[in-house]
Amino acid sequence: MAGGEFDLIRRWFAQLGATRNDVAIGVGDDAALLRVPIGHDLVVTADTMVAGVHFPLDTAPEDIGHKLLAVNLSDLAAMGAAPAWVTLALTLPEHDEAWLRAFSAGFHALAIEHDVALVGGDTTRGPLTLTVQAHGLVPAGSVMTRACARPGDLIYLTGTVGDAGLALLALQDELRLPKADRAAVLARLNRPTPRVAAGQALRGIASAAIDVSDGVAADLGHILERSGVGATVYAERLPISAVMGKWLDAAGGWALPLSAGDDYELLVTIPESRQAAAEAAMAVLDCAFTWIGMIDSAPGLRCQLDDGTQLGVTGGYDHFGS
């Protein structure tokens, strides 16, 4: 980026997030130098958000800063990792002080909450595109993956699902919500809560885990494929918010919380022998933890209502789908 690039970096990104003593070199050199504690594995993920694709062009910059970090922390949570360091690659259409201030504030607040340090990045000019690469730590050999769900395991969800999907319907004018309801679900869409503590609490207990970015059905599908198993989900067991409950019928019924994305809850599978341990580990956190179905050996995903009716499920959003 032209002239003010270094000023911009120094002003807005040199001191963002937490200060950690495992950062030997942070922003300002050619690269960062980070100390992975002995006995730990490094977990790395990256997520990009493109204006007009991942968020509407008029999204508040503070929300963009929050969500960009949140979606990355959510991936670390799904692996059971403790977040540590992030890099930030920013492509900006212009040098807009007000935008940078608000974006940095949203990013910083969540970074502080999770003791995350911004240790480097890149700044360029172009259509608004933002990438975070996040690094987390797990005790060596203890990472949680999508691959080890077994028939008989119980399927659980953190929090509630469907609110972000409801917000999208409201944004697309497909559903007219009263002001308070609209604000509540927009907050879920724009400021998701990464389930960082839940991910670490369930590490060593869950047999598989994934974060729900594309929808319960689609993301559970990834676990089934990687683990070589099938599942039955009882749609009416899905945990939903009071607002979602109020608008469930208008929004098309249980298919919405089953298939809508962007909620960033954790979906985990728990061996029956560890069910009590999982519930105890989650009971001390301020986060709902709800049984929604069973892993079985028949390939595929069956979603059913309590009266036995099967629900057709559609997949998540595919950027390269036709």
Which spans of this chain sit near ligand ADP (rule: CB under 6 A)?
Answer: 9, 13, 27-30, 88, 90, 118, 120-123
Residues within window 14-73 making contact with Mg ion, judged by CB under 5 A:
none
Q: For CA atoms 202, 203, 209, 213, give the dihedral sign.
A: positive
DSSP string for residues in 214-229: S-HHHHHHHHHHHHT-
Shortest Cβ contact with Mg ion: which residue? 122
Q: How far is the CB of 113 from ligand ADP (least distance, A)?
A: 19
The number of C-alpha atoms within 13 Å of 24 and in the hemisphere containing its C-beta is 6
Q: Which is nearer to Mg ion, 48 or 145 (CB)?
A: 48
76 binds, among Mg ion, ligand ADP, none (CB under 5 to 8 A by kind): none
C-alpha 95: how far from its chain's center? Answer: 29
Q: How far is the CB of 315 from Mg ion (least distance, A)?
A: 37
43 forms beta bridges with 136
88 binds, among ligand ADP, Mg ion, none (CB under 5 to 8 A by kind): ligand ADP
Q: Which is nearer to ligand ADP, 30 or 173 (CB)?
A: 30
Residue from 122, 174, 225, 272 that binds Mg ion (CB under 5 A)?
122
Q: How far is the CB of 95 from Mg ion (least distance, A)?
A: 17
Q: Which is nearer to ligand ADP, 133 or 200 (CB)?
A: 133
Q: How far is the CB of 129 from ligand ADP (least distance, A)?
A: 12
C-alpha 104: how far from its chain's center? Answer: 19
Q: Which is nearer to ligand ADP, 4 or 228 (CB)?
A: 4
Stretch of 118-126, 175-183, 193-201, 215-223 lying at the interface with Mg ion (CB under 5 A): 118-126
9 binds, among ligand ADP, Mg ion, none (CB under 5 to 8 A by kind): ligand ADP
* Contact indicator for 298, 228 with CB cutoff of 8 Å: no
**Helix (H) or strand (E) run with residue 25 in it:** strand 23-25
The DSSP secondary-structure symbol of 267 reads: E
The DSSP secondary-structure symbol of 236 reads: G
118 binds, among Mg ion, ligand ADP, none (CB under 5 to 8 A by kind): ligand ADP
Instruction: Name residues whose C-beta falls within 8 Å of residue 132's C-beta, 6 or more positions apart in sequence.
Output: 46, 47, 68, 69, 71, 72, 86, 87, 88, 89
Q: Which is nearer to Mg ion, 30 or 318 (CB)?
A: 30
Count Cβ atoms below 10 Å from residue 253 Cβ, excluding itself: 14
* Contact indicator for 312, 254 with CB cutoff of 8 Å: no
Distance, CA of 43 to CA of 82 (rounded, Å): 9
Q: Which is nearer to ligand ADP, 55 or 103 (CB)?
A: 103
Q: Which is nearer to ligand ADP, 14 or 280 (CB)?
A: 14
Contact footprint for Mg ion (CB under 5 A)? 122
